[in-house]
A and B are shown apart, each in its own frame.
Chain A
Amino acid sequence: MKILMLGWELPPHNSGGLGVACFQLCKALAQKGADIEFILPYTAEHNIDFMNIHSVSPQGVKDIIKSGIAYDSYKYVYVDGTEEVIDIYGQQLSYELSVERLAEILEFDVIHAHDWLTFRAAMKAKILSGKPMIAHVHSLESDRAGGKSGNPYVHEIEYMGLMMADKIVAVSEFTKQTIISDYDIPADKIDVVHNSIDIDMVQPLSGENAYQYLAKMKANGYKVVTNVGRLTIQKGLTNLLRAAKEVVYRMPKTIFLLVGSGDQYYELITLTAELGITKNVIMTGFQRGKQWRDAFAVADLFVMPSVSEPFGIVPLEAISYGAPTLITKQSGVAEVLANTLKVDFWDISEMANQIVGALESDSLRQVLLANALSEYQGMSWDNSADKMMGLYQTHSAGVLT
């Protein structure tokens, strides 16, 4: 089975969960015998041996350099040494042209495209090759826009891609329902293949925690509530801060640690000050590696307050580093994780109530974590890969033209 896999990023050059999910899914698929040609829109070293990676670029471009930040611009380095900065739309169109060239050369049975950024390229490849197209939805424009319709251009591409696809894969039932309601797609065209976590790939903690201040304040009776993620409307952090005000009022020795960057950075700093909880909120900006892992390890509770989270791998990572979790019901991960506190994203007082409850009860946190860890230990991409292989079989027979 040969797959033309169209993705936007892979670790370690990923800005978020999409790259990690693609990587781990492909690894599991390769183990099941899938022969994957993975097309990436930038040039970088990945050290991946289980599939072929093609870094594509327009003619005359030597390198495409990607920043670590989602939706940031790309730097094109031309053969003659000149450079140019391209925005996300230009990058998407250039990817489409490159995939068009590759589709003529490569052999494949199925096109598997991840999220709207690759959908135009996937449609082009389908038209040229006559091969079936599977559109894999990791997030929708309405998720990223916090429940609103978002960017009409993106909305349009997403709509076309979903209509043109022979099969749609959603990372959760939650996302499947959103696709149905946003785009009126028939339910039987959409299959749910849950994301998972490759627990062998989770890097262990090492050494003294990087947040020494928090570690030491915890010894003085402080509690730490952590969130890790992009600071965008989708992630629901304004609600978390409003809940934090209620929590701090009752438990002044609580510190909220927000790790990440994004377009709401300044807005959230200002809101924190306006709520009068500046002393209790620490914003670290974007972190990787040890400082990223240790943010979970130092937490008494991890909170994911997302307004709309198609899957949301981060709570599973939090559990692996020893933090019990509180997540919103508006997330895909809520479908696969039972031992977590769950709340509606809009229910600020209930969010505060559960945070206080968890912080005040050592035994609640212990039980939550112990049970979540045993769920976590049983997770793998194996089932998801089996489902995907089945879909490839069904659809590789061909496509009606």
Chain B
Amino acid sequence: MKKAIVLYMHVHQPYRVRNYTIFDAGVNHDYFDADYNHNTSNARIIRKVSDKSYLPTNAKLMELLSAHTEFKLSLSITGTLIDQLTEWAPETLKSFQDLVATGRVEIVAETYHHSLAFFYSRSEFEAQVKMHREKIEELFHQTPQVFRNTELAYNNELANWAESSGYKGVLAEGWDPVLQWRSPNFVYKTPGNQNLKLLVKNYKLSDDIAFRFGDNSWSEWPLTADKFSHWLNDSGDATNFNLFMDYETFGEHQWGESGIFDFLGHLPNEWLKNPNNTFMTVSEAMEKNDSVGELDMPYTVTWADTERDLSAWLGNAMQQQSILALYGLEDKIMNSDDLVLINDWRRLQTSDHFYYMCTKWFNDGDIHAYFSPYDTPYEAHIAFMNAWHDLQFRLSEKGLL
């Protein structure tokens, strides 16, 4: 049995809320339409990320798919990104379609709006998963078989849902307190479910690429494809190395100058030098490997921060109040039959909005601040709540409040 690299990348952009004030509420409903030069301009960010990351990475991946017949990968692409690419960077969307058309790129299922709906409304969650599936079928002519929840937020209940919904498997974080003595480099099953397989992220190897690659104070810097392949070859018993990361690792989180594209370009060649090595997509890894054991995860585990929980999104009262206020409108919004209103409400569900309100280590100006277009978590909260007030206003105009 060959050992496989299971490369899975998550591609996502939210609809950021502009500096939407109380003076806009009840007047304009353009929460997501910032001036082009503002930090929260979605159009500008999509153009920038396309140029720095999506287009060069897709070009590199296409090159690798042509050069190596064994090279495969999996992607998840959110609905909010697809919508924005359709509007502002159609050539980028086309480049993703070209990748998938090779037949060696698998698309993973998720919520259309990259939301935390699973924890707040099962009906809304299922509606978004269905929306996403239909969009993927329409654009990529593929029906996703493996599910990943937003931020890899996973627990046993999600596994039960995925099994009953007919998925082959789910992706989750390979977190030490859960794995304990076990290795992330195998396939697992879940408690009480017969068919469902679980792939867990090897966060150490993944983070070597996603976080540490460009860090020249890291003892392993510079990381080369040759060195990385040696680590994998030398790592003993394993069937699958689950390298899960944000797609924006390539060119955005790790800039092109760091050599990240060269690393990606050389990785298949170095890895495939050993005839016992190969690449697999996520469902292929689940099909070809038997599970070696069962992972019990009663509590929600995510792929974020050292806590690996939902505290980056729901850890403070501002975040909780915001998300409760938003889902509190669900029945009225759905009863409105107003597709524009429903769509705006859904775009506000994207987890990023709550992440921007995170105050963990706010004073340190850390990684959370790097990913936020707002100066402070409080500004993010105020803009979000002003938009919420406007939703409430729109409902009241319809007599639904």
Contacts and interface: CB of A to CB of B under 8 A. Distances in A.
A353 to B, nearest CB: 25
A57 B182 CA distance: 72
Interface in B370-401: 376, 378, 381-382, 385-386, 388-390, 392-393, 396-397, 401
A217 B376 CA distance: 29
Interface residues of B, number: 28
B322 A278 contact: yes
B382 A291 contact: no
A278 B22 contact: no
A213 B382 CA distance: 15
Contacts of A269: 318, 378, 381-382
A273 B396 contact: no
Interface string A166-178: 0000000000000
Interface in B306-332: 316-318, 320-322, 325, 328
A387 interface: no
Contact of B27 (A212, A272, A278, A291): A212
Contacts of B397: 216
A283 B386 CA distance: 10
B22 A217 contact: no
Nearest to B393: A213
A138 B378 CA distance: 32
Given A269-B382, A282-B22, A284-B22, A216 B318 contact: no
Given A273-B321, A284-B21, A216 B378 contact: no
Interface centre among A213, A273, A276, A279 (most CB of B within 10 A): A213
Interface centre among B376, B385, B390, B401 (most CB of A within 10 A): B385
B26 interface: yes
A274 interface: yes
A220 B401 contact: yes
B108 interface: no
Contacts of A272: 321
A291 B23 contact: yes
The 8 A-B pairs with the shortest beta carbon distances in the complex, nearest first, are: A213-B26, A273-B317, A278-B321, A213-B25, A212-B26, A273-B318, A273-B321, A274-B317
20 contacts: A213-B390, A214-B22, A214-B26, A216-B26, A216-B393, A217-B26, A217-B393, A217-B396, A220-B396, A220-B401, A265-B378, A269-B381, A269-B382, A270-B318, A273-B316, A273-B318, A273-B381, A276-B317, A278-B385, A284-B22
Interface of A: 210-217, 220, 265-266, 269-270, 272-274, 276, 278-279, 282-284, 291
Given A210-B23, A266-B378, A278-B317, 7 more contacts: A213-B25, A214-B26, A265-B378, A269-B378, A273-B318, A282-B389, A284-B22
